[in-house]
Structure 1
């Protein structure tokens, strides 16, 4: 592993140094999201994956350099080109890569605009997958059991319009979450509520992992009781008929990657 400082010293302390152990077992890349990301990266021979974590969604037909501030996450990354660094100060020359990618990570960056500026500096194309905190409907888990998650998310996630503007994105693609989505981030189990009872699944979500047990455990207890009584299924019978739901996840594309189009918000 190559080591580079995030801001002239030791890399910034990352939450995933604490919660990232065993991450790959729960966060398995979903092929439908992978297809969307890989089409956005098509033709790129060199790619830098910023906030790479364990390497999900990296294209197999490109030379990928993984960047992350967390040693725990990079140790789970299977690649050979790994750099310990933060997004705000990438240790690469201008235009060093054909494309830069960032998947569900920009909300963790201490300085979003600086990090997005670095993506634009080091690569000719930028592909960012993120979430719009203003989108509705929201996940029932948050609305009914853990409103504390909403407060955390509102504090961490920048409005999508701000990210689009700072990145200079010319394309915004919506991604509906399938009911059998394999990548276990928080939204994945919207039609499989029993999965939220599993502590290992909760641990792989940064918002869950940052809430104290005194908040999470009573909420999960209420969910367990609602599942046992059938109350949850009666309340959400409409969801059980759905194959996918738009919960506000978006793929942003910027730089030299085709015609300027925009769909979704």
Structure 2
């Protein structure tokens, strides 16, 4: 399977933090005085009080912006940190990449003094509501089935907590999976797909037939006719969830 050392080379180009999603994440972190970001990637959504980023891919670390928190190259399952190292630990769109989910969650709980915040998605809701995987790219949905983690399982591993829906604005500037739900032409751009792991890791050969059908439906206007109700929405819930647990 491709890793972020290969698929992540252009992540900083299409994956910029969206301020509305950032506000929800930062609200979930609450009054934490120091934060550790695990599976940090290029540093999206890190609040000013971030003291350390943990990321296994050197390619991603090199894309962190100047002035970002220092980064340690390590995996979630073995955090190079003492117990109770920070008020809060966050892990955003990363748990599905971990080799040992239970071990990674144990490490988050060990390192966090007060709060753990995880951004993930509910795969059942995602496949049912997101037109791209439902109608055009079921191969990408099938790939996600192999790695998606049920939110209830995560809550159990965290020892309890709450779930918040994260609605995606129609002009979301962070180009993750469903970011372009109202801008379907974007998914025809290989640069956009390169920044979406479910598409990049499924591969263009497998996606080609569905992308061709999408291009044809956009050319004839049938996509817009079929999804006219989406064009009137400012944001949509397609299953992204913020999980918050307090110690």
CA shift, 1:178, in A, is 1.2
Q: What TM-score does the superposition give when structure 1 sets the normalisation length? A: 0.88
Query: Residues of 2 paired with 1:168 and 1:54: CA distance?
Result: 29
Q: Does 1:17 align with 2:5?
A: yes
Indicate the SS of the match to 1:156: coil
Query: Residues of 2 paired with 1:105 and 1:69: CA distance?
Result: 11
Corresponding residue for 2:169? 178
Assess if the C-alpha contact under 8 Å between 1:14 and 1:70 holds in 2: no
Q: Does 1:217 align with 2:204?
A: no
Structure that is richer in helix per residue: 2
Query: Residues of 2 paired with 1:135 and 1:16: CA distance?
Result: 26
Corresponding residue for 2:145? 154
Note the residue ranges of structure 1 that are not aligned, 5 or more in a row. Answer: 1-12, 257-265
Note the residue ranges of structure 2 that are not aligned, 5 or more in a row. Answer: none
Q: What TM-score does the superposition give when structure 2 sets the normalisation length? A: 0.94
Q: Does 1:103 align with 2:92?
A: yes
Q: Deviations over 1:143-183 (max 9, x none)?
A: 11110111111110111100111112422111111111111
Q: Deviations over 1:70-110 (max 9, x none)?
A: 00001111324110000001011100111100110011111
Corresponding residue for 2:122? 132
Give the ranges of 4+ consecutive aligned residues of structure 1 lying more than 6 Å apart after TM superposition: none
Assess if the C-alpha contact under 8 Å between 2:36 and 2:51 holds in 1: yes
Q: Where in structure 2 are the equivalents of 1:218-233 lying within 5 Å?
A: 218-233=209-224
Q: Deviations over 1:228-260 (max 9, x none)?
A: 10111111111111111111111111124xxxx
Assess if the C-alpha contact under 8 Å between 2:37 and 2:50 holds in 1: no
Instruction: Give the superposed CA RMSD.
Output: 1.4
Indicate the SS of the match to 1:237: coil
Q: Does 1:36 align with 2:24?
A: yes
Indicate the SS of the match to 2:193: helix
Corresponding residue for 1:70? 57
Query: Residues of 2 paired with 1:138 and 1:229: CA distance?
Result: 23
